[in-house]
Amino acid sequence: MEEVVKEETRICFYPFLSAASRYVEEFGVTLEDLISSAVFERARLRGKERVIEAIKDGEVRKPVIISNAQAEMELLSYPFARILVSCIGDEYLVRRYALSEAKAAHEELLASTGSSSDTDIIYEMSEEFGIRVDFIGLSHEHAQMKVQMSFVDYLRFTSNLRDKRWKLVNRGLEKGRVKLGRSEFVRIIQEAIYERIKKDLPLDVPADICEAISGYTGDIKKELEEKRKKFGDADFESGSVVKDPSCFPPCISYILSNLKEGVNVPHSARFAVTAFLLNLGLTEDEIIEIYKNSPDFDEDRTRYQVEHIAGFKGTVRYIAPSCGTMRTYGNCIGNDEICEKISHPLSYYKLKLKRKKKK
């Protein structure tokens, strides 16, 4: 006979909420228990699984919960997953994981339409994230529910949503408030969740704890490396990505030189150099620094564009354009003897680096 599933079942789907944190505290599980007790091995395995699902699928799966014990393990797996991500300390993984958890919560909220607690959880999240809202036409027909929110809050959480329908000029604005459908408001909540999870990571985890859970992080690092290989990072030294500007192809060197000198290079060239440098392993902050001499530099906009190319704002992590595409957009400045042997800027870099190492 199945157990009667309690409140923890609801909050285990939204483990980033304050209510979830309070429950974990009241549960009385210590950090030592979580990382080493055999009782919580299921939670640790599920925590590792959360991170691997984020890497592989871009979304953390929400299991069917049939017992209180299962709900508790699901809830405890979240803090352990955060510890794993923090011990690995990879910026791409932090953002990928935060976005995957946010997308999973978004899908869960959409799927809950029609349930008795549907409006309650949406209202709770509004309170949690400091979003001032009014619910209009509240009834059991939750899909028809409308929300009014302050345009200040609206701008705060839609700044990274680039679809034209999110622009304030395309919304109905009345007395400083924006009216939204239920699904639109849930999409805004996803952005709030993403920011909530991302801002706290990585946690400051002691080295001895990271060492104690190295078996779990080792499996995650393997998946992360496989993901990178799939997107064109193969043949670079694992854990120490080589970044040697002297081996960059002429087209990339030329674009970088223009950026350094403050030349306003075209969008196609910016995309090419950003994707190329990301594929080599540069961080988002390192790439943003390169653009600071641009005459139209806007840090927030540049960060969004770099993160989009890196795959943080969606499921696609872009590869640098081929030589043929570079020629099509006028970004190829002429061939050298290596260019004659390859068809992609990354292949140029790998070949030239290989020759340099032999010398």
> CA-CA distances (angstroms) from residue 16 to 58, 76, 79, 204, 316?
18, 11, 9, 18, 25
Compute the residue count for the chain.
359
pLDDT digits (tens, 9 = 90+) for 295-340: 778 888 898 899 889 887 555 678 899 998 999 888 998 778 899 8
Quote the percentage of the chain above a pLDDT of 90.
39
Report the pLDDT value the prediction gives residue 64, as an integer from 0 to 100: 86
Q: Is a pLDDT exceeding 80 seen at residue 161? A: no
Distance CA 302, CA 298 (A): 6
pLDDT at 19 over 60: yes
Average pLDDT in the chain: 84
Q: Is the pLDDT confidence value at 10 over 60?
A: yes
- Is pLDDT above 80 for 175? yes
Q: Which of 1-15, 94-108, 160-174, 232-246 has the lowest mean pLDDT?
A: 232-246
Q: How far apart are CA 234 and CA 101, in angstroms?
A: 27
Query: What's residue 143's pLDDT?
Result: 52
Residue 202 preceded by cis peptide, ω within 30: yes
Q: Which pLDDT band holds residue 282 (cuts at 50, 70, 90)?
A: confident
Contact between residue 180 and residue 215 where contact means Cβ atoms under 8 Å apart: no
Please spell the DSSP secondary structure of 227-292, one letter per residue.
HHIIIIITTSPTTS----GGGS-HHHHHHHHHHHTT----HHHHHHHHHHHHHHT--HHHHHHHGG
* Rounded mean pLDDT, 104-121: 75
pLDDT digits (tens, 9 = 90+) for 55-97: 888 889 988 888 888 999 999 999 999 999 999 998 878 888 9
**pLDDT digit string (tens) for 200-247?**
899 999 999 999 999 999 999 999 888 766 544 333 333 334 478 889
Distance CA 35, CA 247 (A): 44
